[in-house]
Structure 1
Amino acid sequence: MRLRGINMLAPFLFFGMFMSTDGQLAAMTIDLGTQFLKIGIVKPGIPMDIALNTESRRKTPNVVMIQDGHRTFADAAIGMQVRYPHLVHGNLNDLIAKSFQHPSFELFKNRNPFYEIDDSPRNASSVNFKLGGESYSVEALTAMVLANAKKFTEEYAQVSEIKDVVITVPVYFTPVERLALERAAQMAGFNVLQLINDGTAAALSHGIFRRKDITEKPQRLMVYDMGAAKTTATIVEFKLVKEKYEKQPKMTVLGVGYDRTLGGIEMTNRLRDHLIEMFEKTYKPKTKVNTNRRAFAKFAKEAERLKQVLSANAEHFAQIESAHEDIDAKLKMTREEFNRLIEDMTPRFGEPIEQALRMAQIPIEDIDQFVLMGAGTRVPKVQEVVQKTIGTKEIGKFLNTDEAVAMGSLFQAAHLSKGFKVKPFNVEEKLIFPVEVHFVSKVKDEKTEEIVGEKNVVKTLFAANSVYPTNPKTISLTSYSDDFAIALKYGAVESLTKKQLQEVGNLLDNLIDVEISGLSDALKNRSSEESEFKGVKVSFLIDASGIVRVRRAEAMFEAKSGIVGSITSTLTGLFSSKTEEGEPTTDEATATGSNEEKIEEREAPKAEETTPQPEPSATPSTEESPKANGTDETTTSGNTTDVKPKKKELPPIVRLRIINKYPSAYVPNRYDVDEEKRRMVAFAEKERLADERAAAENELESFSFECSQYLEESEFTDFTTEEEKSKLEESVKRIRLWLEDDVTKETPTKEFTDNLLELKNVVRTVKKRQEHDKTIPEKMKSLDTLLETTLSLTTLGNNVDEEKALFKKEDRDGLKTKLDKLKVWVEGVRKHLDTKKKFDDFNFTGKDIDSKIRSLNREVDRFMKKMKKITTLDELNKDGKINIDDIVAEAEKKASSEENTETKDKTKEPETGAESEMKTEL
């Protein structure tokens, strides 16, 4: 196990053979961009690729629209953005885990002034929007977008369900922002394998496909990514390192830099405001554009298009039909004007590069390769400033910048899922935000052992610029004898600028308030004569997603009798007086063990965060103990014998209850997750019914129009009776008027299906007649030919001696009798066909004729098997009475397959009624 490295996929991927279904094996990844998603999928039988959405596109708009209790996603929602800009919600990523007081919300509100905010006191801890009388948090809306991505990816991969996912996040996301996004993914029904930094994923994609080029000599790559809302720079180093058995490639993140408000959206908004200003000066409308949200949305849409065009053209016209007050706008814009609009932003373009170099502590000359990513880097001014910042370094073109993040994280998803075996590719991430533990230590008098005071203690758990995922860190607290609380806070972040710290806002105030309960009860249940309390051990780690986890808290006891000597010895080492209280230590047991141990984390619901919790049970901290893992109690059963009762031995370790609170951020707890899951299930069911109703309405509308065309075609009306034609005309007229005048949103699906069935019943009857009119004559022709051929067999030997005849007379006569009966049936059918009208129903079907043909073929087979053994064929042929060569050749062919025919007859399905009837007639 590599504690500081993450095994990644090599170019060769092998599928595990131990899983039962493709759905269990499949995993996906979501490149969660501000404006777009890109979804990767890996499953057996399908190469790792980008999943196509329902519009068959490789990228999907990150938006959701809720109107009248119905949700619309992706391109369909974008199409409604101009008409309903206040209902289509996007650009939500930077609001995750934020409150209304956070700087990110203020920026969002300035950019999107028409959203209706739910700022009621009960929602003060998070950003909520009002939609259709309901309140939706940012995390809930994000969960809906993720659930929609999950749905269309399952359809694309043709699996029933995909649970495992890796999601990309910006490198500057704090642990609570990452945790809130993880909970949003859980609302969507995902099992989050990892949250991976987008810059790391892009660099990983580069390294995976160039695995063979990695040597012991370090190779450094910088990825500069300007997206819609943020800009990041990531420096990584590739090299081969000696592992246990062989050398393996390793990617280390050396430094990162970012600007979380610098991106394409800011440029677009400036261009939008400039176009509005030009419009109002040129056309002088009566009212301001920003008072009309539809007009405002039109200018925003045109500004985005114009920005893209100006990246390739020196000038272009902005054209907006009915822009405002029914005025068609046509405004000329040049690239030079656009550059003036973003002139004050240009110094910021190179700052992430410089920050990443400072963190990595290397000069730009030590960077071997440099690559641009993100739509924002297509702006010529951005490329100009970046090139100036990196000097003579060449901007590389070797990376598929549109999909590199999705593909890099897809390799990680394949590694972490259980169904794939991958070659190792180690990764070390860089920790930006250091984590400290704060607690109050009680000071005891050395002589009296009485508490005489308290002191505040601060210990660093995870230092800045260290790597993660980390080994578990444990602190030992020996001065507590009652329930207590500790706090996890961020340390001094020296690598960030003052502006960056302000953008993080109050998220830096406190990370987690950890309440630990159950200690006082554990001590009450212990006698000081039996055991000695050695303190409380609390364990922490930062996982591969960059989330700080409080793993467990345990009260430690040492038996005075020495019965548990080995345990006592271990605990004595752990709580040695040489270690100061609260001093973090590495948990060696887990440092060398499996990383699959469950991280236990309990949270109180909002309504119960400050209420007392049920008392815990004292249980051993062993994986075999069901109580230690929070599961139901178990009992043993089997043969029993009379034994003397033993004194109950108390366990040396008691698991304590942990409640995590996030005072500076909104993190959905398990109750929030379950509630949103229920709400999304209700949405999905309502949408399913609405989709069924819409499909039924569309089908009825389409079929009624089709029926009206049938009534104008002679090919259809020739097969229709006057009564049927009149009924169909009346039904079509009534239904089309009903669809135009009476149908409402409340019209139930059953009314559409009933009307559709009424039309189909009439049309089905007529179509059946048309089909029979085409097929039955051809079938009858085949039957006539076969009947005439078979009748010729019965004449063989009529004019020769009986001894020379191929078939016995009684056999010939028997077959002729059966054929005469069949001939009578055929003549009856012919008479019916000659006299019936096109609109008359047939009194038989094509299946009846097929049955007659099969029965006749069987009779011919039986007859040919009765042919005599011929020894004087030449003599018989000399008589010239019959053409024996053809007959014998056919007979021999029939006889050669006798055994196969017999076997097939025995294994055939029971004959139908028509076949049995034909057999009797023959």
Structure 2
Amino acid sequence: MPPHGRRRWSSIPPIFLPLLLLLVASTSAVSSAVLGVDLGTEYIKATLVKPGVPLDIVLTRDSKRKETAALAFKPLSQKVNTAASTAYPERIYGGDAVALSARFPKDVYSNLKPLLGLKYGSDGIIDYCAIHPELQVVESKVNGAVAFKSDSFTAEEEAFLVEELLAMELKNIKANAETMAGKAYGIKDIVITVPPFYTVEERRAVQTAAELAGLKVLSLISDGLAVGLDYAKSRVFPTVNSGGKPETHLIYDMGAGSTTATVLKFQGRTVKDVGKFNKTVQEVHVLATGWDRSLGGDTLNTIIMDDMVKRFTEKTTVKAVGLEAKHVKSHGRTMAKLWKESERVRQVLSANSETSASFEGLYYEDQTLKYKLSRSDFESMASQYHDRVQRPILDALASAKLSINDLDSIILHGGAVRTPFVQRQLENLIKGSDKIRTNVNSDEAAVFGAGFKAAAISPSFRVKEIRTFDNSVYPVVASWTIEGKEKQQKLFVPTSTVGTEKQVTFKVLADFEFSLSQEVAEPGASSALLSVSRTRTQNLTQSVKALSSQAGCATNEINTQFAIRLNPADGLPEVTSASVSCESSEAEKKGVVDGMKDFLGFGARKDEQQPLQDADKSVSSEGSDPTSVLESPTTSVPKAAVTHSEASNSVENKTAPGKKVVTIALGFKTEASSLSETQSGHHESVVKRLLAFDVSDRSRAQREETLNNLEAYTYKIRDILQDEGFIEASTLTQRNEIEQKSSETSSWLYDDGVGAARDVLKAKLDDLRNLVKPVQRRKEEALRRPEAVKQLRDGLQQAQTMVQIIRQQQEEQAVATDPSSSTPSPVGEAETSQVSSTSADDFAGLDDEPTSTSTLSIEPSDVPKPLYSKQDLNTISERQESTQKWLEEKEQEQDRLSLSDEPVLLFSDLDARTKELNELITNLLTKQMKASKPRKSKPSKDGERARTSTPKSSEAAETNSTSSPAEPEPTQATEAEPTPAQAAESETSTDGGNWAERTSDPEPGQGVPSIEEEMEIRRIQQEIDERLAAEKSSIVAKAEANKTKKAKKAKPTAKAKGQVKRGKQSKEKLKDEL
């Protein structure tokens, strides 16, 4: 019986085990790659983590380390109506899309990140339209969010949501990552960086975009925490358990669209490991954050662009035509040129004190602008932003209740921090530059942190253990209505740690609904509540009645409690479980719990309630005023105090003698409430449109591939027509036809073929190939035919040699089995013949010495069986003769044809005939090798090999006791003389023993050797053929000579009588004679 751990394998057939292992390995490979994405305003960067490739930047199609966050629709010849057409505009990404902004300003969508989660008409929309004036921004009919109308589609086409356009960009990033990872790895899991100030609307918009792109969001991580994680992964911090002081750093991140300041605490901590062991882990805590939503590189670019417009409109020629700044700013092509150049000017001024730019055809074709700007002038124009550069740091420190002196360093991140104006303001704030650090990659630290986070979450990887603790940023408020009065209670504060769970007690005894909201307050504006979710109880009323009637609880002692936590994946509040409980003063009675179960059928449905699984975590309890929520200080609730279970709906907990706590799990239903969630009905149509785009892109790529193949083939034909072999295999008429067809196709390509469909292009390509391929086939046949004929003739020669050997062996076998050629003594007699090694007269005067003799019984079974049958001979001889005849006839027919005629002697036919002969010869050689394989002999007691006179004999020859091991005694035996066939077989076996032994015998029941045997046979076949040809005549001659020589020496007697004594001299003489 197999061990317990292995019994289950016995139910799986062994033949399926490799397939099972392959399936497990392939599944692991496909699911092991993860992606980290830094979703920036201007650029999108990604890192790939897969086995063997830790944290590698995903390159774009043009091998850049970051992709411009831009998407363009390249219009078709006519506007697309998706209801009647399957062709969609071509999508172009990155820098190529930005390059089209001057040509197609209505179809280039860049810097979409600030628009996520915004309602139509928000201030952010106004600022965005000022930079991109020709984009058709509309209000979505689905949820009132921002949407875009494309000029490439008809007016009836539904507008594109920001999430849909961002999903296309994420799909492009995913495709680049899969190309880099290889076909064996599929990418589904992703971690995305977001600014810490993102609200529920913006966070869910990012998640929606990722889902539309076919990605699963493992977590959203704030930009500052991602940079801190990258900073911590290669460092070890003081251990607080040992009295070490934590390090405090501030991450100052200024990107293209916003600026954030994040205060982080880095420390080590010793925690319990497996068993009795401990381990030290690193921790990164977010203490506080500050931000400016609209301050970034784009703001500084806008300063330069406005100055360009001002100088352009001040030109005399521009004033003459009445052109004003508002006209220029509403012109899409002009603004696209100015915006692109303003960014370049700012970047150049970061390293140079002065730069210039020039424009031609600005607004009007005859208008030009030569622009020059110094760094001092630029900083003078940007002086209005001095305070805004410093404000995020001050806000973060105030929220963390720290000062500049408490910081160990200020770590810079983001592209805009390279601007000297920004760095100078930071130095002014901290009174020097000693704390400013650039010890992280200012472009890629965040994306590396996101990739590390993805690897840490994924079960496929094991990384350094770094525990992160982010903040909720915004307060979380619970709102509900009771007896016509609206109630609110703050559950979490801005510094609450993500992942924290609280037990909130409500003094509500009937089914009710409450909502969870974020309290968002922007600088200079009043706070507003953004709804996160709505939760409604399902069996609260019935549960209260059950507690009153079955457990005898008073209504004023019944508590309704909900477990609410900040989701670790996105930082948003969620309800994890709910229960109603009371303390009963009645004596415990049997069947109370069962009675309530029969009354209610307690518990919530599994698809609507997901309770926490970790009951050992410390939770806090908070409530409101006595009229609404029972408030209590934050404490650690014992594990047995509250029950969160779906399977068990009622639990009795004893608290004191004569008292018990009865708890009933509540069912509840939660609905998310945000702009992105209200798109659920629209989600399916968006997915279909994205799939239609993908199909159109694939069709376009296939058409372009066919077009390129056709164009390349027309050029290839020009070279083919000059080839000598092609000329010999074709006629002048055929070449003229090919040349004319190629010339017509080439002209058509640059005329009507530009917009031709793929089917038309493929038909043109097939027409050309059908003209060229027959000639090329004849050319190839003429080149390969001589070698193929030679190989077939060699095969025929081998077959002829094999036929002769088989016939010779069968003739010798017939002679050996003929009764007239046998020894004089009768075969059936039981007597044995004894042959003395020498005559007695020759050794009469010598000292007697014991000698050895051997006897051999000659029986009919001693005659060797035939190696080949008559059927073998007939098969190979008939195949050889028919093939020889076929070859001669085909050669005669082929000789009457020219090279330009269709051949009758084809390489494929020659090869097939050669393979048939080789296979037949191989089978015969395999049979011979099996028969000639040497038998293993057993060693005798004295260590020498036993020698037998025939394979059937079991008598071992005795050796002379006085003989030397180096000089073995010849065996004296009266054995039957070998026939010529036996001698030939012996010679063949001896000569071919080495190669025959290296080849395995065929499996029983198989007529054809295995793959390994055939490979070995083919390797040595040439050697066998040469050996057979060289020894064909010598084998028979040796056999005949041996027979004649031994017939003269042999003196058979009727019986063996005694032993002949001989001396040492006679032994040497006997050796010479034998």
The within-5 A match list for 1:176-191 is 176-191=201-216
Q: Is the 8 A contact 2:489 2:623 kept in 1?
A: no
- Alignment of 1:755 with 2:764, yes or no, is yes
Equivalent in the alignment of 1:101:
121
Match of 2:272 among 237, 244, 248: 244
Write out aligned runs for 1:147-186 (5 A). 147-157=171-181, 158-159=183-184, 161-186=186-211
- From 678, 687, 692, the counterpart of 2:702: 692
Partner of 1:906: 1008
Looking at structure 2, the residues matched to 574 and 334 of structure 1 have their Cα atoms a distance apart, in angstroms, of: 60
The code of the aligned residue for 2:900 comes to F
Q: How does 1:806-845 map to 2 (within 5 A)?
A: 836-845=897-906
Query: Matched residues in 2 for 1:666 and 1:377: separation?
Result: 33
Partner of 1:48: 55
Contact map agreement 1:17 1:419 (CA 8 A) in 2: no
In structure 2, the partner of 1:605 is none
Correspondence 1:351 to 2:391: yes
- Stretch deviating more after TM superposition (83-92 or 839-848): 839-848
- In structure 2, do the counterparts of structure 1 residues 233 and 523 end up closer, same or farther at CA, with 3 Å as the change threshold? closer
Measure how far apart 1:194 and its partner are. Answer: 0.9
Shift of 1:116: 0.7
Match of 1:875 in 2: none
The aligned counterpart of 2:775 is 766
Alignment partner, residue 34 of structure 2: 27
Query: 1:220 and 1:834, CA in 2 relative to 1: closer, same or farther beyond 3 A?
Result: farther
Residue 568 to residue 240, structure 1, CA distance change in 2 (3 Å)? farther
Q: Following the alignment from structure 2 to structure 1, what is the Cα–Cα distance between the partners of residues 562 and 928?
A: 95
2:40 alignment partner AA: G
CA displacement at 1:227 relative to structure 2: 0.9
Amino acid at match of 1:756: L
**C-alpha distance in structure 2 between counterparts of 1:481 and 1:855, whole Å:** 90
1:306 corresponds to: 345
| Matches of 1:172 and 1:575, distance apart in 2 | 25
The correspondence for 1:130, drawn from 140, 149, 157, is: 149
Q: Is the 8 A contact 1:472 1:591 kept in 2?
A: no
Letter in 2 for 1:318: A
2:710 paired with 1:703: no
The number of aligned residues is 805
Alignment of 1:777 with 2:786, yes or no, is yes
Does 1 or 2 have the higher relative contact order (CA < 8 Å, sep 6+)? 1
Match 1:720 to one of 730, 735, 750: 730
Counterpart residue type for residue 657 of structure 1: K
**Amino acid in the other structure paired with 1:363:** S
SS for the counterpart of 1:350 is: helix
Give the conservation status (yes or no) of the 8 Å contact 1:519–1:555. Answer: no
Rounded Cα–Cα distance in structure 1 between residues aligned with 2:316 and 2:291: 41
> Secondary structure of 2:470's partner?
strand
For the structure 1 residues 372 and 587, does the alpha-carbon distance in structure 2 shift closer, same or farther, using more than 3 Å as the test? closer
SS at match of 2:439: coil
Shift of 1:486: 4.6
Pair 1:381–1:527, CA change in 2 (3 A): closer
Q: 1:299 to 1:441 in 2, by over 3 A?
A: same
The 3-state SS of whatever aligns with 2:265 is strand
- Pairing 1:486-501 to 2, within 5 Å after superposition: 486=515, 488-490=517-519, 500-501=522-523
Please state whether the residue corresponding to 1:20 is helix, strand or coil.
Answer: helix
What's the offset of the Cα at 1:31?
A: 0.9
Superposed CA offset, 1:771-800 (max 9, x none): 33333334445556777799899999xxxx
Match of 1:656 among 668, 675, 688: 668
1:471–1:587 CA contact under 8 A, matched in 2: no
CA contact (8 A) 2:1002 2:1009 kept: no
For residues 315-714 of structure 1, the aligned pairs below 5 Å read 315-320=354-359, 322-324=361-363, 325=365, 330-390=370-430, 391-442=432-483, 456-478=486-508, 481=510, 483-486=512-515, 488-490=517-519, 500-502=522-524, 508-512=528-532, 514=534, 516=536, 518=538, 529=549, 534=558, 536-551=560-575, 556=580, 563-564=591-592, 581-583=628-630, 622-624=645-647, 652-662=664-674, 667-707=677-717, 710-711=720-721
- Identical aligned pairs, as a percentage? 25
Cα distance 1:17–1:357, how it changes in 2: closer, same or farther (>3 A)? farther
Cα deviation 1:32-71 (Å, max 9, x = unaligned): 1111111222233433322233333332222222344333
TM-score under structure 2 length normalisation:
0.65
1:176 alignment partner AA = E
- Equivalent residues of 1:470, 1:541 under 8 A apart: yes
Partner of 2:845 in structure 1? none
Could you tell me how far apart the structure 2 residues matched to 1:520 and 1:865 are? 88
Asked whether the equivalents of residues 112 and 166 of structure 2 are also in contact (C-alpha less than 8 Å), the reply is: yes
Q: 1:829 to 1:260 in 2, by over 3 A?
A: same
Q: State the distance in 1 between where 2:135 and 2:527 align.
A: 24
SS in 1 for 2:629: coil
- Could you tell me whether the CA contact under 8 Å between 2:290 and 2:396 is conserved in 1? yes
5+ residue gaps, structure 2: 1-22, 81-87, 604-619, 650-661, 806-810, 813-866, 933-986, 1019-1074
C-alpha displacement at 1:294, in angstroms? Answer: 1.8
Q: Give me the whole-angstrom Cα distance separating, in 2, the residues matched to 1:857 and 1:519.
A: 84
- Aligned pairs for 1:179-328 (under 5 A) are 179-211=204-236, 216-245=244-273, 246=278, 247-281=280-314, 284-285=317-318, 286=321, 289-320=328-359, 322-324=361-363, 325=365
Look up the equivalent residue of 1:314 and give its one-letter code: S
1-side partners of 2:37 and 2:103: how far apart? Answer: 29
Aligned-residue Cα RMSD (Å) equals: 4.9
In the alignment, structure 1 segments of 5+ residues that lack a partner are 1-15, 443-453, 494-499, 594-619, 627-649, 797-801, 870-885, 916-922
Q: Are 1:41 and 1:49, in contact at CA under 8 Å, matched by a contact in 2? A: yes
Contact 2:60 2:66 in 1 (8 A): yes
Once residues 571 and 734 of structure 2 are traced to their aligned partners in structure 1, the CA distance between those partners, rounded to angstroms, is 71
Contact 2:239 2:269 survives alignment (8 Å)? no
One-letter code aligned to 2:339: A
Equivalent position amino acid for 1:501 in 2? P
8 Å Cα contact 1:183/1:668 also seen in 2: no
Partner of 2:168: 144
Structure 2 residue identity aligned to 1:295: T
Structure 1 contact 97–667 (Cα < 8 Å) conserved: no
Find the residue that maps to 1:38 and give its secondary structure.
Answer: strand
Change (3 A) 1:836 1:94: same
C-alpha spacing 1:818/1:863, structure 2 compared with 1 (3 Å) = farther
- Aligned letter for 2:300? M
Deviation of 1:293 after TM superposition, in Å, equals 1.9
Q: State the alpha-carbon separation in 1 of the partners of residues 349 and 130 from structure 2.
A: 25
**Comparing 581-590 and 424-433, the one that deviates more:** 581-590
TM-score w.r.t. structure 1 length? 0.75
8 Å contact kept, 2:753–2:761: no
Supply the AA of the counterpart residue of 1:269. T
CA contact (8 A) 1:39 1:50 kept: yes
Greater Cα shift, 229-238 or 653-662: 653-662
Counterpart of 1:58 in structure 2 is 65
**2:580–2:665: 8 Å Cα contact kept in structure 1?**
yes
Instruction: Give the CA deviation at 1:141.
Output: 1.8
The 3-state SS of whatever aligns with 1:117 is strand
2:564/2:577 contact within 8 Å kept: no
Q: Deviations over 1:469-500 (max 9, x none)?
A: 2214424142x646445563518x6xxxxxx4
SS in 2 for 1:52: coil
Counterparts in 2 of 1:155 and 1:525: CA distance versus 1, 3 Å: farther
The higher radius of gyration belongs to 2
Q: What residue in structure 2 maps to residue 39 of structure 1?
A: 46
Per-residue deviation, residues 337-382 of structure 1 (Å, max 9, x unmatched): 3333323224432332333333333333333333322111222222
